[in-house]
Amino acid sequence: APRKRRMPLVPEPFESVVISRQAVSLGSDSTMAKTWARFCPNLNIPQYRETLSEEKKTELDQRATKLWRRSIRNHFQKSSEFRWEVCAWHDAFGLIMEDEGLRMSLTLVSYRDKRPYEYVEKDDSGQITVKTRIPDGTLGLRAYDDYDLKRGYPCTVPACKEDHSTKKPDQRLSEDRLRAMMLNPECALIVDGVWGKTDLVFPFAVYEAKKGASSYEIEAAESQIHHACQTYLAMLDDLARNPDNVAEYQTTESSKYQLFAFTSCGSYWEVYVAWKFLDDCFVETIWKGDVKQFSRAFDLICIIDQIHEYAAKHHREFVMKHLEAWHTRHEKSQDAKEYLPDAFFTACEAIENMDLSDSDEVDSELDSTSGESDSSSISFHYGDLDWQQELNWEPPMWYRLKAESKTARQDKVRQTRERNRKLREELPRRQNLEGISLRAQDRPSESQAAKNEAPKRGRGRPAKASSRATRVTKTAPPVTRRSTRTRTVTRGKN
């Protein structure tokens, strides 16, 4: 069914995902991304390599060698998932990490560096709740504060011939403008996976890692990637919509947005492309390989470099171009002309600092889950703040959903704690009424007690049987046989 959008705008993932492995089954020439997606990396690596300079070829060889050697070492050392992630960030995504115009979330220090994303889902009772998942890595655009916008991008390399146009700060990616637009009910466009924040804007790729390459781990990583593609692709779909009529797109080319994804299960990598196809989230696996082989490590580095170039030159421009219409709508609205007091931004911080735990069921056994405890989170409800009366202004729908979902979770935790407390208090009384003591409950049964009192064999291996022959004395009585024959003995006379 077509993805119907209407105001007030609430982030909703694509309802379904279509999965294709045609490219890895029939060959790179049969990939659907070349025909339907906006951009597809050149999977003919020898052909791509011929377009590069000698200096770039040497650099690619060095980077591929590092990835290849580290993968072999991690494999034989049976490294943890964390070590594999470090290998990916340094050896595969190293150039993206150094790009001033892009931003990445990574797991090099602790779980707090992982970038979660939020999405809506209906519970068993039909109520819409806001849930959270935490992929191992997210690659997106950078938003700028006032200092960055004033300073620009100073190049310190003398006689530099590189084009820095893709790294210069832009007003359309201003943190203040993006935040104000999100909080305006007339717009309410979410730009970050964490609703209300502007730390990592409109991701262009997502990454998931596992320690091993078992079928279960590969399937789990793919499932997480597919859900992330459904969510982040929906963010780009909302961006491409016409803010004056979200049922249509801004231009005929606006619907051609896409997202990339990576999974690494040990040394086994897969690369995906996701785009909107027939109103569904279409995810195609375009490449797979084991980077313990140098040729596959080199192929992966070349593919990532092409995606990096796409993000810097095309994805960033696509996002900024479509943000213009949303900024215009925000500035025209009357609410945008009023100055929001500090109490409003204090409330925003309370919502943004909500408890973020990994609710990914398929990842619970294979990946680390984390989050602050309920006691350390900020208790908050959007209806209790004074800024609503001061502004006579209703928060956007996504803001209320997020606050109500957090309040519902806190209420559920309190109810569970209260129920457990009552059970603990009622336990002694119930034991007295039933005449059962704690000691009787802990006492083992007669059969168990007899088993525990039985002599036990000493520790260690039992002694070997002796090879010397032993004489066996039979205690059974001798058996007397009676013969039916009569033998006559004749003795001669002397």
Query: What is the DSSP track for 193-225?
Result: SSTT--SSEEEEEEEEEES---HHHHHHHHHHH
Distance, in Å, from the CA atom of 400 to the CA atom of 462, rounded to the nearest integer, reads: 71
Distance, in Å, from the CA atom of 297 to the CA atom of 71, rounded to the nearest integer, reads: 9
| Domain assignment of residue 187, yes or no | yes
pLDDT score for 112: 36
Is the C-alpha dihedral spanning 284, 290, 296, 300 positive or negative? positive
pLDDT score for 104: 60
DSSP code at position 374: G
9: which 2 tokens? 């705008």
| Domain assignment of residue 382, yes or no | yes
| Domain assignment of residue 147, yes or no | yes
Residue type, 192: D
| Domain assignment of residue 459, yes or no | no
Distance, in Å, from the CA atom of 138 to the CA atom of 395, rounded to the nearest integer, reads: 28
| Domain assignment of residue 47, yes or no | yes
Q: Which residues contact 71 (CB under 8 A, 6 or more apart)?
A: 87, 267, 291, 292, 297
Distance, in Å, from the CA atom of 276 to the CA atom of 179, rounded to the nearest integer, reads: 27
pLDDT score for 377: 35
**Domain carrying residue 29:** 17-155+163-410
pTM for the full predicted model = 0.76
Domain count, the chain: 1
| Domain assignment of residue 72, yes or no | yes
pLDDT score for 392: 57
Distance, in Å, from the CA atom of 142 to the CA atom of 104, rounded to the nearest integer, reads: 9
pLDDT score for 481: 53
Per-residue confidence in pLDDT tens, the chain, 494 aa: 568 888 888 889 999 999 999 888 887 777 899 888 999 999 999 999 999 999 999 999 999 999 999 999 988 988 888 888 888 888 888 888 777 767 666 433 323 357 899 999 887 777 888 999 999 999 999 899 888 888 877 776 676 766 666 778 889 999 999 999 998 888 999 999 999 999 899 999 999 999 988 999 999 999 999 999 999 999 999 999 999 999 999 999 999 999 999 999 999 999 999 999 988 999 999 999 999 999 999 999 999 999 999 999 999 999 999 999 999 999 888 654 554 545 455 555 554 555 444 444 444 444 433 333 333 333 334 444 444 555 556 788 898 889 888 888 889 899 999 999 988 888 887 777 766 555 555 566 666 667 667 777 777 676 666 555 555 555 555 555 554 444 544 454 44
For strands 201-210 and 137-141, give the pairing: antiparallel
- Residue 100's nearest CA partner among 161, 142, 138 is 142
CA 159 to chain centre: 42
pLDDT score for 118: 94
| Domain assignment of residue 8, yes or no | no
447: which 2 tokens? 């059969």
| Domain assignment of residue 102, yes or no | yes
Distance, in Å, from the CA atom of 214 to the CA atom of 463, rounded to the nearest integer, reads: 43
Distance, in Å, from the CA atom of 227 to the CA atom of 120, rounded to the nearest integer, reads: 12
